[in-house]
Amino acid sequence: MSKKEIVYLLSDSVGETAEFVVKAVATQFIRREFEIRQNSYVDKVSDIEDVIVEAKQTNSIIAYTLVIDFLKDYLNRRANEEKILAVDLLHPLMDAFITKFNREPIREPGLMRKLDEHYFQKVEAVEFAVKYDDARDIEGILKADIVLIGVSRTSKTPLSMYLAYKGYKVANIPLVPEVPAPHELFNVPRNRCVGLVITPDKLNAIRKERLKTLGLKPEASYARFERILEELDYAEKVMKQVGCPVINVSNKAIEETANYIIESLNMERSF
């Protein structure tokens, strides 16, 4: 029998969990080197049998993270028959969860990777929202899952960030009478663009408060009522031209507006 010390890793997914645990244990054995042989996406007994045959010829351990019962049972039986040490890295803790919390696992491989992918999707969406905030880069209009348009202080940026946290790539475009709306906006499918409007009184109050925090006088053109009416009128014309749904955000929380947008988007996708 070969004296080489080998740990065979078997997983019905990528096998990162098994590798991490085994390496963490191996580091506790100073001046010893263990060869780790990874076997990912094990989904049939022949995959297990190949490892059993090889492990019989070596000084080895099998460590596994199999959540599918028939594969786990087959491995345990064959390892016992061949007197190979096989270590289940997941099920002692899984059994503890079942006993203590009275819940049954769904036993689906690869869920951890799916969770990781969802996390990185969120990160990517947040980076997208920052990059394409306030029309900094017009290219974002055609790349976005959702495009928000509206005059200044209609919650476009906080709404973009909230939707990004939900995993949606969002670009937002301010509508200003003196600046023509980018032509890319009119090429966006209407169900991916949302117009945000607000009552003149509410917008006037928000802008005055904004000027105050900036140390500016509330009489500035930015908060002047006539100017606000002009901007809202222009924004309404653009939104009609785009043909997008319009939401009045006057008395809505960010979460409420975001949920409405997500529901509308999902409804359109279902057809």
Binding-site members for ADP are 150-157
Q: Which two tokens stand for residue 183?
A: 């032509």
Residue 72 CA to residue 56 CA, distance in Å, equals 18
DSSP 8-state assignment for residue 245: -
- Binding site: what residues are annotated? 150-157
Residue 204 CA to residue 253 CA, distance in Å, equals 18
Contact 13, 40 (CB under 8 A): yes
DSSP H helical segments within 132-172, as ranges?
A: 140-143, 156-165
Contact 174, 135 (CB under 8 A): yes
Q: Which two tokens stand for residue 235?
A: 């924004």
Q: Which residues contact 237 (CB under 8 A, 6 or more apart)?
A: none
Contact 13, 113 (CB under 8 A): yes
Strand partners, 197: 248
Q: Which two tokens stand for residue 243?
A: 């043909």
